A = this chain, B = another copy of it.
C-alpha cells in the first residue's frame, strides 16, 4: 500500500455518501486509510459531516484520528460529543495523548470525562500526568511500557509481555526493574528472542541505560535523545523508580517549537507560545511591541547622526537621495552574515573558538561584496546624471565616487558586525538569535550614515565645506 493522496474527486464522493447517510460507502472509502489521512479529510469537512463519519469509525481508529486533528477542528468535534463518548475515546489513547486532550477541556468537563472512563488505571495515570509541567519529561511521557523484574526468566518475560500487550501498542524495549520498581537496565526484544527460554533476565539484560528524570527540561530530553540516537527514553522519579517513557515523535514537536522560537527571536519577536491564529490581538501586540520600540529608539540615533551633516545635505541635496540605498545594503549584508553565523552556532558547525577564522573570512567576503555593489552604485549615479543633470549637478562624478566608496565601507562594516555580533552574544552567555537581524541592521544604519557623510565631506570638500 502506498501513501494516500487526498483528491477533490474523493472528497466529493465522500460528501455525497455522507449527505445520503450511506454508511456502507463511507466505511468503504475510509477502510484502507490511516488515521492521519482521515484527519486530513476531517480538516476539510463541515462539523456535522465530521460527526457522521466519526460515528462510523472503529473505536481505536476514532481515538487515533482525534489525536491527529488540528486543534480547532478537535475542539469543534469534542464540543459535539458527550463526556461519556469522550471518555470512551480517551480509554483507547496512549496516556500522554489522553492527558494532553483532557488538559485542553474545560475544567468541569475534565472531571466528568475522567469519572466516566472505564479503564480506571488509565484515568489515574492521566490524573498523575496532569500534575507535571508540560515542558518537562513528566509532561511529555506516557505510562504505557513493558517492564520485567530482574529476578525473572525469559519465559516469565514473554508471559509478562503477553499480559501487558493489550495496553502497549508498540514494544520498543523491555525495561528491567528491581523489587522496589527502580530501573536497573533494559532488555532488547532481539536479545529476548535470541536467548534460550531458560535464560535469567539478570544474565541477559543490559545495565547500561540512559534515563531522564520527570523534571528534566523538555529541550534537554530532546538533546539527549538526539545525541545518543534514542528512539525511546525511560523516565524515572526522584527515587529512581520507572514511571514512564518518551518516544521520538513527541520530541519532534519539542524541536519544532524550539525552531519557531529561534526564528521569532531573530525577527525581534518574543516567542509565541500559541499558534498564530489562536492568539488575541492584544497578546500579539505585547509580543511584538517590546523589541519594535527598542529598535525604534536605537534607530532615532540615525536622525542624530544625520543632523551633524545637515550643512552638507543642505548644500548637496542629492546626497540625501542615496541614504536609504546605502544603509539598506549594509543591513542586508549584515543580516545574511548574522543568519549564517547564528545557524552555524546552533548546529555546532561553528564554535566561538573559531571567531578569528570567521572574522578573516568575513572581512574578505564583505570587501568583495562591497566592491561589487560599490561599482554598481557608482555606475548608477554616473549614468543617471546624464539624464537628470539638474538633480546631480556638475559634481556627479565625485558623488558617484562617494556613493561607491561608501558602499564598499558600509557593506564591509555591516558584514563584519553581522558576523561578530552573534558570536559576542554567545560569548556573553546570551542566545545569539535574540533579535539579531534587526539589531544588527539598526547598528549598521547609524554607523553606515557616519561612513557615508564622512566620505562625502572628504571627497566633496570643495563643495560642501
Q: Using CB atoms and an 8 Å cutoff, list the residues of chain A in contact with chain B.
A: 1-3, 32, 34, 36, 70, 158, 161-162, 165, 168, 170-172, 188-190, 192-194, 207-211, 224, 226-229, 231, 247-249, 252, 255-256, 259-260, 263-264, 266-269, 272, 275-277, 281, 284-285, 288-289, 292-293, 295-297, 299-300, 302-303, 306-307, 310, 313-314, 317-318, 320-325, 327-329, 331-333, 335-336, 338-341, 343-344, 347-350, 354, 357, 361, 364-365, 368-369, 372-373, 376-377, 380, 384, 388, 391, 437-438, 441-442, 445, 449
Contacts and interface: CB of A to CB of B under 8 A. Distances in A.
A339 B264 contact: yes
Work out how many copies of this chain go into the complex: 2
**Residue among A2, A172, A332, A438 with most chain B CB within 10 A:** A332
Contacts of A296: 325, 329, 332, 373, 376-377
Contacts of A293: 372-373, 376
Contact of A324 (B275, B302, B384): B302
B281 A158 contact: no
- Give the interface SS of chain A, mostly helix, strand, loop or mixed: helix
11 contacts: A3-B210, A161-B194, A171-B188, A229-B249, A277-B344, A277-B357, A284-B361, A285-B368, A292-B373, A297-B376, A303-B380
A171 B158 contact: no
Contact of A188 (B36, B170, B318, B364): B170
A264 B343 contact: yes
Contact of A354 (B268, B277, B299, B310): B277
